[in-house]
Amino acid sequence: MTDITVPARKPARPHFSSGPCAKPPGYSPEKLSIESLGRSHRAKIGKTRLAYCIDLMREVLQLPDTHRIGIVPGSDTGAFEMAMWTMLGARGVTTLAWESFGEGWVTDAAKQLKLDPTVIRADYGQLPDLTQVDWSTDVLFTWNGTTSGVRVPNADFIPDDREGLTFADSTSAVFAYDIDWSKIDVATFSWQKVLGGEGGHGVLILGPRAVERLETYTPAWPLPKVFRFVSKGKLAEGVFKGETINTPSMLAVEDAIFALEWAKGLGGLEGLKARSDANAAALGKIVAERDWLGHLATDEASRSKTSVCLTVEGADADFIKKFASLLEKQDAAYDVAGYRDAPAGLRIWCGATVDTADIEALGPWLDWAYATVKAELAAA
């Protein structure tokens, strides 16, 4: 086999996983505030730090006062299922699915809640026809499909006079895009994506129409304790002021606070968006310069700027496994294989916590891994 030159320069931080994602630059555990650790989350210090985390999220997201923010268990999945189990069933349901997590919400609505939803699908790499949506129904969608690299371009497809509620799984979208919050009744995310925080906790955002639904509708099915945030027909407001339903990890909260303070130092949402845009552009340049690489999302308007999914010419799942393993062994790139249910390819996180210089340094390593795997297979 012909010797293939190993690139000289590695990414300084080869963390390109699409969740949990790279920590913010300059992060170290020693920089976290630890006064709340070992204390009750119901003590003054715990409540204060939880409320501060919520206030920071509101500020950085530019979220209007009309919307409430709650920290809930179970990461983004827990937050989204909490919303589904407590609010769906009042009217018809439409689910949009163009990747695996959207399909997960289809399964929940159809097989678990047995709501017989209208399902509008598209293949990986495509966006469904959004003009088909019946807005008299509640509508579930992922703003940014993490496993397909396809996003909605904006909220223009959502009418102001909709009758149903919008449920937006926004976990790979918040802190990376402008979101018209007047169009979103329910949004969920986790800290482990664009903020580079820790997993295990979800964030639930409720607009006024969602609160009205909660206070006027009782589902036909029983709700587990961690899903209950309505008491005697009224929203438990404390949940949205830092009084969590169950015990949170204050270490994870402090980790999120670090990331949010870092984001404020960048200029908030505009700074985060600029970093993500620069990263996506740098990766786009790498793809454009290589005829064996392509974007799974062919329409640039609906192409993710965070979880960028790439096609590799002639690659199957085994090829990609070898490709990603080579890069990991060289400490050049971690966790870049595409999602297991997606078409065989690469997935490279370009969110704000990644440095553009590391994306730029990745190009020669992709060339090296591609040539190495091809040579190995040819020699086999």
How much of the chain, in percent, has pLDDT values that exceed 90?
95
Q: How far apart are CA 152 and CA 168, in angstroms?
A: 11
- CATH number of this structure's domain 268-379, picked from the four choices 2.40.50.140, 3.40.50.300, 3.50.50.60, 3.90.1150.10: 3.90.1150.10
**Would you say residue 1 has pLDDT above 80?**
no
DSSP 343-375: PSSEEEE-STTS-HHHHHHHHHHHHHHHHHHHH
pLDDT given at position 339: 95
CA dihedral 364, 366, 368, 372 (to 10 degrees): -170
Quick one: which of 164, 166, 154 has its CA closest to 127?
154
For residue 205, pLDDT over 60 is answered with yes
Instruction: Give the containing element (helix H, strand E) for 262.
Output: helix 250-265
Q: Quick one: pLDDT band at residue 264, thresholds 50, 70, 90?
A: very high
pLDDT at 17 over 60: yes
Residues 6+ apart with CB under 8 A from 173: 143, 144, 151, 179, 189, 194, 306
With a cut of 60, say whether residue 56 has pLDDT above it. yes
DSSP 89: T
pLDDT of residue 95: 98
Which of the pair, 246 or 362, is modelled with greater confidence?
362
Task: pLDDT band for 301, please (50, 70, 90 cuts).
Answer: very high
Compute the distance between CA of residue 287 and CA of residue 294 in angstroms, rounded to an integer.
6
Give the separation between CA 131 and CA 371, rounded to whole angstroms.
43
Where is average pLDDT lowest: 142-151, 225-234, 289-298, 351-360?
Answer: 225-234
Mean pLDDT of 211-235: 94
Residue 3 has pLDDT above 90, yes or no: no
Mean pLDDT of 213-224: 95
Residue ranges covered by each domain of the chain? 33-264, 268-379
Q: Provide the mean pLDDT of the chain.
A: 96
Q: Is the confidence at residue 172, as pLDDT, over 50?
A: yes
* Mean of pLDDT values over 99-116: 96
Q: For position 43, what pLDDT does the model report?
A: 87
Q: Is the pLDDT score of 212 beyond 90?
A: yes
What's the pTM value of the predicted model, to 2 decimals? 0.96
Question: 341 pLDDT exceeds 50?
Answer: yes
Residue 259: pLDDT band with limits 50, 70, 90: very high
**pLDDT confidence tier of residue 32, bands split at 50, 70 and 90:** very high
- Average confidence (pLDDT) over 223-231: 90
How much is the pLDDT for 2? 59
> What topology does CATH give the domain 33-264?
Aspartate Aminotransferase; domain 2 (3.40.640)
Mean pLDDT over residues 170-175, rounded?
Answer: 98
Residue 83 reports pLDDT greater than 60: yes
How far is CA 278 from each of CA 97, 275, 308, 311, 343, rounded to the nearest angstrom? Answer: 28, 5, 13, 21, 26
* 174-187 mean pLDDT: 98
Q: What pLDDT is attached to residue 66?
A: 96
Neighbours of 58 (CB within 10 A): 16
Tell me if 33-264 shares its fold with 268-379: no
Residues making up the chain, counted from first to last: 380
Q: Residue range 107-124: average pLDDT?
A: 97
